[in-house]
Amino acid sequence: MLQVRVKPGVEKKLKSRFPWVYRKEIASYSRTPKKGETVVVRDFSGKFLGYGYINPDVNIAIRLLSFDKNVKPTPELIKKRLKKAYEYRKSLNIPSNAYRLVHSEADFLPGLIVDVYDRWVAVEFTTYGMEEYKQTVVETLIELLQPEGIYEKINEFSKKVEGLRGEEQLLYGHVPEEVVIQEYDLKFYVNIPEGQKTGMFLDQRNARYFLRTLIKGGERVLDVFCHSGGFAISAKKAGAGEVIGVDISDLALELAKKNEKLNGLEGIKWVEANAFDFLKEQHKKGEKYDIVIIDPPSFAKNKAAVPNALRGYKELLVRGLHITKPGGILAIFSCSFHITEQHLLEVLQDAAYDTRKVLRVRAKTYQDLDHPWILQIPNTLYLKGVWVEVLD
C-alpha cells in the first residue's frame, strides 16, 4: 500500500478527524502514486495517522476514510457506513418521502452523495477514489432500500477537477421521467435525470416550512431564484396573497407551474427573468413586498471567487431591501461553504447602510438534518440563511 508522509504540523488537524490532506501538505511518497488508490497517511516522523484514497492531480489530494489502524478501507467498510447513514436517517422522522441518505464527508463517505426520492435513488460520485467503490455502493443501496431504480448524476465541476470517468446513466432498474414526492402536506414533481443537482433542493425543507410560519394571511411574497417553486408554493399554501416566483430558466418555471397545479393552487405569477434585472425594475417601479426570498445558486465555487460573489450578494440585498415593506421580512441564503454566515451578516450590514435600513434578525436557518454537518469538518456546513425584519 502506498505510504504518504505529511509535512510537520499537518498531523494536528488529522488527529482532530479532519479528513482532507492538501497536495501542498504532502512531504513524500513511498513511490509514484496512482489516481484513486488506497494510501496510508503518516506524520513526518512516520507515525500512523489514517487510511484514505489519493488523487495526486487535485488540490485536495487525499481524503481519509479511516483513522483507525485496524480499520482499512474496504468494500465492507463502505457498506457499513452506508448502513449507519440509513439508520441515522430513519431516526430523524423526516416529514417527507424524499431525503438525503449520504452527505459525503458528513457520513464519512467522502465523494459520495445519495438522495432518495420515494422509491427511486439518485447518486453522485464526486471524487475519483469514491468511484472505485461504485459497485459496492449500488449493491448496498439495493439491499437497504429495495428501490425501483438508481440513477447516476454527474457533477460537471467535480468531473472536470477530479477527472471522473462516469457519465449520467441508469445504474439499476428504471427511473421515470418524473417522480412525485411528499413534503409535509405539499407535493412536488422531481425530474431526476434532468433536474438540477440530484433533482430537488431537499436541504431547504426546514426553511420552506419556516416561511409558512411567517404567513398570517394575504401577504405579498416574492421568491427570487425560485427554481421549481418550493418557497412560492409553500407561501401560497400557507395563505399568502399575491405570490411571484422569478427564475431565468424556462424549464424550472414550467416545473414550478406543474407543482402549483399538483397542489391544487392557483394564482402564482411566474416570471422568466434575470434576478438582478428584475429586482432593479421592481425598485424602479416602487414595488413593495411583505416577504422577499433570495436564494441564489452558488456564486463561489472556490475561495478566489468570494470577492465577486459578495459584490453580487450586496447588489441583490440592496435591491431586495428597497422593495421590502417596513416590518417586512427578507431572507438571504448561501449554498456555498466559501460564503460563510459571517459573510452574509457583513454584506447585510453593508446593504442596510446603503439603504438606510435597520434590520432585526428574526431567524437563521441551515441545511436540514438529513444533510448533517460535523463540527470537526466545517466544510460540511454549507447552507446558511439569514431572515431579517426591515425596521426602516
Note if 226 is an active site residue. Answer: no
* Length of the chain in terms of residues written: 392
- Contact (Cβ atoms closer than 8 angstroms) between residue 239 and residue 215: yes
Question: Integer distance in angstroms from the first to the last C-alpha of the chain?
Answer: 63
Q: Which of these is catalytic: 181, 309, 335, 347?
A: 335
Burial status of residue 16 (CB atoms within 10 A of its CB: 0-12, 13-18, 19 or more): exposed
Task: Please list the active-site residues.
Answer: 335
